[in-house]
Structure 1
C-alpha cells in the first residue's frame, strides 16, 4: 500500500497559484506524492471551461491539474490575502505565475511573503521574467522562435516549421519542477527558503533542445549552434522511407547497425568498402538511401520492423497519434487513465509518467473544485510537523555536494542526467568501456567534441570493462559507497551485466537507481532498439511534425526531443527520492520511458484525439486562430512568428499593422471567420512583415501586446539582449578543443544557489587510476594487473574499441 511516508514527496506541501499550462509544475509534483493545493480566483474561471464545446472541463485544465486539491481565494480582499499568508507559513513551496509588475503580482507581494516566511521556497514563473522584456507576451510559438529550435525545424530550402503542440512550454514546466525541488532540497539542508525566478524562455531554451547543449549522436559532435544558416540538409541523419502502407524511419548509427543493414541489402558491392563503418561516409553517400528506399518500398511497416529487428537495424513505423493510442503497448501500458469531464463523458489523460519502485507514480485522480476549507487546511498542515533536516551531503549554494553518482548513461539522455546533478555539486563518475564506447565518443574526432564537453562537463571518467567478472565486482564495490546509479540501456541491459536494480539495491539499500529507456520497461515495444527520432515516430509526433501541403515532408529530423527533457524528469525523480530517503533511510528505483514523456507532454492532444474519434465536438475543431504561423521578413532566411489567441490579439494586430480593411471586415471579428479567411489574412500579414526586419516587426507587434517573435538561431542566442539580461550562457575551456565552449548557465535564477562550476569534460578513462586508488582502495600492483587484463581502462584503451554502444 502506498502511503504518504513511501511516496517520494509525501511530506511536501505546495501552494499552487500558477495557471494555464504552467500548472503542470504542480501536477508533476502531485504525481510524485506532494500535497498540492491549487488556489483559484473567485467567480468565473475561464481556464476551466474555455476549450470544449460540450460544456465540460477544458482539456488543458485537466492535463495541468489532475491530482490537486482546490482552494478559492480572492486576493483583492485583505482577509483572503491573510489566509494565503497564514498558509504560506506552513507550506514548503509556493508556485506563482503572475506577470512581473502586474496588479496580480503586487497583490501577491512575493517579497513580503518571503520576508515574513523566510523558510518558504517561492518559484516565480513568467514568460520572460522581470526586467526589460517583462511586458512581452508569449505563446508556445513565440518561445519556439526565440529558443533557437524553430530555425532548425523543417526542411532545407523551405520556411521553418513550427513544432506541434506546446513542446516549449511543456519542457519549461519540467525544468521548473526540477528547479523547485533543488530549492526544496536546499531548504531542508539549510533551514532557509529561496526565491527562484524562471522564465518560460529560460526553461524552453535549456530543456527542449538546447542549441549549446549536447547534440544527437548523428551530429558527430557538432553543436546545433555550429550548424550552417538555414534548415540543415541532413535528411540522411534519420531518414524516412515510403513503404507499402505508409512510412518508416531508420536510425543506422553504430557500426554494427550498418553491418546489419549491409546484410539486409544483400551485401551490395557498392557499399562493401570498410569505410562505410563510418557515419560520415554513409551520410555523404546519397546512393545508400536510394538502395534502402528500393528495399523497403514493397514491404509493410510491420514487415520492415520485423526484418529490421532480425538484422539489428533500429526501425520504427511513422504512426498517427490515433494508431499509437490504439496500439497494445499504450492500451495495456498503464500510462493513461480515464478522467470524467462531464456527466457520462470521459477522456484518457497521462498519469504516472515516472515509475517509482516498479509502480507508476500516479496521482489520487482528483481535480481541484474549490473544495478545501482554508481553516481545515491550515490545521491539517500545522499538524504535519516539521520535515526532517537533511544532512550528510550538501553545502551552501550546492545542495548535491557530497553525493556520489555512477553515470553509466550514453548519448544525450545519459549525458544530461549526470550533468544536471554535477552542476549542483554531485561527484559524477562516468563509467565507460573501450570496447563499447558511448556513441558520442565513437562519432567524435579524438573522443572529444564541443558536444561531449557540453554534456559531460564537471564529471570524471572511469574506464571499466563491465563484461568481465572483475569489472562487475569493482562496479558493485563502487555502488556500495555511492548514492545514485544512472543508466539508459534497453530494458534488461543492466541485468545482462549482472547489475540489475535488485542487485545494486541489495549491495546498497540507500542507492537510487535510474533506468531510462526508449519505450519503457514493459510492454510489446519495450525490447525495441530506441533512439529519440524512432520514439517520436512511434509516439505519433513525427506524423504531426510536417508541412501541411506535403504529407511526406516531415520536419523533425534535426530536433533532439525528448532526450533533454526526459533527463530532467529523471533527475527530478532523483531529487524526490533523496527527500524520501531523508525520511525512510532507503533508496529506490526510478524507471522512465521516452514514449511516455512525449505522450504526457501531449496530454490534451491525446484526450482530444480520443474524443474526436468518438464524435465529440470540441471548440477548437475549427482550427487555430488566424494568423498563426511563420511569416517572411526582410533579410536572408529571416522570419517572424505571429500567433493570435483571440479577438483582443486580433484587434491589437490590426492596430499595429494600421490595416483598417482587415479590422473592419465583419467576417474577421471572430475566430471562425478568421480561420475561414486564413489565406487572405496570411497574405496581408506577409505583405506587412516582408518589408520589415524581423526584429522591427517583433518590437512593433509586442508594443501592441501581440504575441510575436523574430526567429533566432542558436549561434545568435548568447548575444541576444534577453539572454544576456538573464546571464543564460557561460563559456569554459576544454583543453582538447581550439576555442572555448559556450554552454547554458544555471537552470533557474536564485538568490541562494550557486552557478554551475566550469570543470571540463573528461577524456576516456582520465580518472581511472585515481578512482581505483582513492575510492576502491587498490594498490599500484593490483591497478597495473587490472589494466593489463583490460578490466581497468585508461586513455590508451580507446585504441581497442570496437563500436559505439546503442542508446
Structure 2
C-alpha cells in the first residue's frame, strides 16, 4: 500500500480510525497482543507473526485454559509463521516492514537487535515506521535484563503487597493487571506516535514497561503511605486502599456478597433511608465522611446486619434506585453473560471454528458514527501464510513452496485447507 492510499483511506468519511494502517505484530501472550487487538478492532490490518510452534499463549492451549484467551486477543488478525532466525525469514520480515506502518514486539530488550531487525535497522528500510515495544522493566535502568511475567510484575509493582487483609499473607490480583495495563499504554503510545508521524512524516520508537504502567493504579494506597508513613497498613482488605471512604467494603448477603460505596455524605444518608435507619442521620459517628472513616467498624457492622437479611440482587436494585454506588459480587459466568455488555456489543457470542460457541470481547474503544467492526475469529497457526507472503508481498506459488521446504515460513498441510484471509 502506498502512503498516499493509506492516508486517503483513513480520511474516508465513516471509516474506522485506523483503516489503511498495517501492523506487524511480533508480540506474544497478553500485553502486546492486547495492544494490537485494539488496533485491529479500530480498523487496522494486523499481521501476526509467530514461530513454527506458535506464540507462547497459543502453545499453552494443551494445558487447558489458554485457548479462549488466545481467541479473545487475536480476533481480526492474519497469522503467519516465520523463522526469524533464518536470513530469508528476516528478509521476509523486512519486506513486510517496508509496506507497514507499525511494528509491535514484546521480546526481552536486545533480542530484536541481536537478530539484526531492531528499530534502527528497520527504520533504514522504512523511516515512517512506528516501532512499539514493551517489556517488564523497560529498555533502560538496572532491571533491564530481569525476566518478567505478570506475577513477577505484580510483586515488584506493589500490587501483591497491597492486596489482601492486613493479618494475612499478601495475595496476587485475580486479573493480569500489569500485562493489560502495559497493553493499554502501549496502544496509546503507538497511536500517539502515529499522530505525530502524520504531521512530520517520520516514525519513532516508543516503549512501555509493565512496571511503569502499573504504578499509577495504586494511587489510593500511595496517598495513604504519603499521609501516614510507617503507620500506613500495607493491606486494607476490601476497604478503600487509602482508608479515606466509609462505607467502602464487601458485605455478606443471604446468597453471596454485595459492595457498597458512599463517596459523599448524601450517599450515606440514602443508604440509611434504604435500610430504614433514617434515625441515625444525626448520629455523630456517621455524620460526615471523616467521622465514618474513624468509625468504619461500626459502619460496616450496621450495614452488614442489614445486608445479611436480603439477596444480593435485591440489595443492589434498592440501592441503585437511590443512586447509591452498589453492585452484587458476581461470578465470571454471570459477567460473561452480562446483559449490558452484550446489548452494547462489547461482548458477543461467536461461532469459533475451533472452540465452538464462545463469548468474545470487542474493543472497549467505541468510535461513534461507525458500527463496531465485525469480529473475525482467531485463525489457526500460519493460516494466512499464502495470502500475506503470496498475495500481499507478491511471491509466487513456486517461491512459497521453496520457502516452506527450506523451513523459512513453515510447512503445514492444514494451511492449504484454512479459510483464506483477506489480503492485507
TM-score, structure 1 as length reference: 0.47
Tell me if the contact between 1:434 and 1:797 (Cα under 8 Å) persists in the aligned partners. Answer: no
8 Å CA contact retained: 1:763, 1:795: no
Change (3 A) 1:794 1:454: farther
Asked if residue 477 in structure 1 is aligned to residue 95 in structure 2, the reply is yes
Question: Relative to 1, partners in 2 of residues 1:606 and 1:623: Cα closer, same or farther, differing over 3 Å?
Answer: closer
Kept in 1: contact 2:194–2:203 (CA 8 A) = yes
Q: Distance in 1 between matches of 2:286 and 2:134?
A: 48
Equivalence map 1:640-659=2 (5 Å): 640-659=258-277
Pair 662,553 (structure 1): closer, same or farther in 2 beyond 3 Å: farther
Aligned to 1:351: none
The match for 1:769 is 386
When residues 797 and 639 of structure 1 are mapped into structure 2, their CA distance, relative to the original with a 3 A threshold, is same
Structure 1 Cα separation of the partners of residues 392 and 198 of structure 2: 24
2:158 corresponds, among 521, 531, 540, to 540
Q: How does 1:325-724 map to 2 (within 5 A)?
A: 390-391=7-8, 393=10, 395=12, 396-435=14-53, 437-445=54-62, 449-550=67-168, 552-556=169-173, 558-603=174-219, 605-606=221-222, 609-610=225-226, 612-613=228-229, 623-635=243-255, 638-660=256-278, 662-717=280-335, 719-724=337-342
Q: Please give the secondary structure, in 2, of the residue aligned with 1:425.
A: coil
**1:216-253 deviations in whole A, cap 9, x for unaligned?**
xxxxxxxxxxxxxxxxxxxxxxxxxxxxxxxxxxxxxx
| Aligned partners of 1:398 and 1:425 also within 8 Å | yes
Question: Which residues of 2 match residues 727-738 of structure 1 at below 5 A?
Answer: 727-737=345-355
Conserved? CA contact 2:76–2:376, under 8 Å? yes
Write the distance in 2 (CA, Å) between the matches of 1:515 and 1:748.
Answer: 21
Deviation per CA, 1:572-615: give whole Å up to 9, x if none: 22222222222111111111101101113335654653464499
Contact 2:95 2:393 in 1 (8 A): yes
Separation in structure 1 between the aligned mates of residue 343 and residue 353 of structure 2, nearest angstrom: 29
Cα distance change, pair 688–401 in 1 and its aligned pair in 2 (3 A)? same
Q: Deviation at 1:531?
A: 0.8
Q: 1:784 to 1:720 in 2, by over 3 A?
A: closer
Aligned partners of 2:37, 2:115: CA distance in 1, in Å? Answer: 24
What TM-score do you get using the length of structure 2 for normalisation? 0.87
Say if 1:585 and 1:454 are closer, same or farther in 2 by CA, change over 3 A: same
Shift of 1:418: 1.6
8 Å Cα contact 2:18-2:44 kept in structure 1:
yes
Cα distance in 2 between the residues matched to 1:586 and 1:553: 46
Q: Per the alignment, in what secondary structure is the counterpart of residue 166 of structure 2?
A: coil
What's the CA shift string for 1:470-515, capped at 9, x where partnerless?
1111111111111110111111121122111111111100111101
Residues in 1 aligned to 2:75 and 2:362: alpha-carbon distance in whole angstroms: 12
**Conservation of the 8 A alpha-carbon contact between 2:181 and 2:214:** no
Structure 1: unaligned runs, 5 residues or longer: 1-188, 190-388, 799-807
1:782 paired to 2:419: no
Find the aligned partners of 1:569 and 1:594 in 2 and give their Cα distance: 9
Using the TM superposition, give the Cα deviation of residue 408 of structure 1 relative to its aligned residue in structure 2, in angstroms. Answer: 0.2
Give the Cα–Cα distance (whole angstroms) in 2 for the partners of residues 668 and 698 of structure 1: 21
- The 3 A distance-change label for structure 1 pair 407 and 707 is same
Residues 397 and 731 from structure 1, CA distance in 2 versus in 1: closer, same or farther, beyond 3 angstroms?
farther
Alignment of 1:273-292 (within 5 A): none
CA distance in 2 between partners of 1:782 and 1:726 (Å) = 46
Cα deviation for residue 650 of structure 1 reads 2.0
Q: 1:444 to 1:721 in 2, by over 3 A?
A: closer
The Cα shift of 1:555 comes to 4.3
Q: What are the within-5 Å matches in structure 2 for residues 148-163 of structure 1?
A: none
Q: Distance in 2 between matches of 1:610 and 1:506?
A: 47
Contact 2:75 2:376 in 1 (8 A): yes
CA gap 1:676/1:609 in 2 versus in 1, 3 angstroms: closer
Q: Distance in 2 between matches of 1:779 and 1:672?
A: 73
In structure 2, C-alpha distance between the alignment counterparts of 1:559 and 1:784, rounded to whole Å: 43
For 2:243 and 2:250, locate their aligned partners in 1 and report how far apart those are by CA, in whole Å: 16
Number of equivalences? 402
Q: Deviations over 1:71-110 (max 9, x none)?
A: xxxxxxxxxxxxxxxxxxxxxxxxxxxxxxxxxxxxxxxx
Give the Cα–Cα distance (whole angstroms) in 2 for the partners of residues 446 and 687 of structure 1: 44
SS at structure 2 position matched to 1:687? helix
CA 1:681–1:392 in 2, change beyond 3 Å: closer, same or farther? closer
Q: CA deviation at 1:545?
A: 0.8
> Aligned partners of 1:685 and 1:446: how far apart in 2?
44
Distance 1:708 1:603, change over 3 A: closer
Task: Provide the rounded CA distance (Å) in 2 between the counterparts of 1:590 and 1:747.
Answer: 23
For 1:404 and 1:553, locate their aligned partners in 2 and report how far apart those are by CA, in whole Å.
43
Change (3 A) 1:549 1:520: same
d(CA) in 2 for partners of 1:529, 1:564: 17
The RMSD of aligned alpha carbons is: 2.8
- Whether the 8 Å contact between 2:80 and 2:388 is mirrored in structure 1 is yes
Query: SS at 2:95's partner residue?
Result: helix
- State the alpha-carbon separation in 2 of the partners of residues 405 and 794 from structure 1: 24
Change (3 A) 1:622 1:392: closer
State the 1:527 CA deviation: 0.8
Distance (whole Å) between structure 2 residues aligned to residue 516 and residue 754 of structure 1: 30
